[in-house]
Amino acid sequence: MKLLEVLARNPIELPGDEEQHLIISNVTWEQYSTLVNIYTDEYPSLHMTYLNGVLEIMTTSNEHERLKKIFARLLEMYFVERQIDLNGYGQTTFRQELVQRGLEPDECYCFGELKEVPDIAIEIVISSGGIDKLEVYRGLGILEVWFWYAKQQQWKLYRLRTELDESQNESRYENIPRSEFLPELDFDLLSQFANETSQTKAVITYREALGK
C-alpha cells in the first residue's frame, strides 16, 4: 500500500486530550523527507520518528505540550542562574540518511554555539510503544537523552558510550543517575514542578530554591 493511501485511511488529527500513534512500514527515505517538509512547519506538534524504513507519526496531547513547556522554562531559568551557555533548537527535525534515522526532540540544547546535532535531547513520554527513540538518538550521535515519564513521575537519563572491540566501534546508551554535562542539576527538584498549574509561579519558586 502506498504511503499516501495509508495516511488517507488514517487521517491525522490535531492535538487534543489523547496522543495518537500511526506506525507505517516500508517507508523510503524520500517519502519520509517529503512528509517532514510538508507537515512539520504547518503542524509543529506533529512528531515523525524514522528508523530503517519504519515511520511513526504521533500527535502530542495537550498534557504533553504543557509538560514540555514547563520543563523548558525551568531548565532555561537554571541555565541563566548558573550562567551556563546553552542554546536551544526547540523541536527541530534532525535526520541523517546515511544511518536511516530522523526525529524531532521535544526540546534540545547545545553547549555554546549551535551544532549539527544537539548535546542534550529531552523527551516527554505520556504513552508507551512505538519506535525505540534511544536507537534513533544513538544513530544520530546525541550524547545525552533525558526522558520524563509522566505516569511514573520520574526522569530517566541516558549517556552515549562508545565501546571498542577488535572489529569495530560500537556505541550504546547507559542509564546514569545524573547528567554528566550538568552534574549539579537536581532532577528531583525539577520533578516537584511537573503538576504546577501556573508556569510562572513554578519558575519563580524554582529560582528561589536555586538561590538557597
Q: Which helix (H) or strand (E) holds 48?
A: strand 46-51
Q: Which three cell numbers stand for residue 133?
A: 527513540
pLDDT at residue 38, as a whole number:
80
Number of domains observed in the structure of the chain: 1
pLDDT at residue 48, as a whole number:
92
pLDDT at residue 59, as a whole number:
85
pLDDT at residue 3, as a whole number:
47
Per the CB < 8 A criterion, the answer to whether 161 and 175 are in contact is no
pLDDT at residue 129, as a whole number:
77
Q: Is residue 103 part of a domain?
A: yes
pLDDT at residue 43, as a whole number:
72
pLDDT at residue 205, as a whole number:
96
Q: Please state the pTM of the whole predicted model.
A: 0.88
Q: Is residue 130 part of a domain?
A: yes
In terms of residue numbers, what domain contains 125? Answer: 62-210
Q: Is residue 125 part of a domain?
A: yes
pLDDT at residue 1, as a whole number:
38
pLDDT at residue 81, as a whole number:
94
Q: Is residue 44 part of a domain?
A: no
Q: Is residue 170 part of a domain?
A: yes
pLDDT at residue 44, as a whole number:
67
CATH of the domain at 173: 3.90.1570
pLDDT at residue 92, as a whole number:
86
Q: Is residue 79 part of a domain?
A: yes
Q: In what order do the strands lie in the sheet with 101-103?
A: 20-24, 54-59, 46-51, 101-103, 94-96
Q: Is residue 166 part of a domain?
A: yes
Q: Is residue 40 part of a domain?
A: no
pLDDT at residue 21, as a whole number:
84
Per-residue pLDDT of the chain (212 residues; tens, 9 = 90+): 344 455 545 555 544 567 888 899 999 999 999 888 887 666 767 889 999 999 999 888 889 999 999 999 999 999 999 999 999 887 788 999 999 999 999 999 999 988 889 999 999 999 877 899 999 999 999 999 999 999 999 999 999 998 755 455 678 999 999 999 999 999 999 999 999 999 999 999 999 999 87
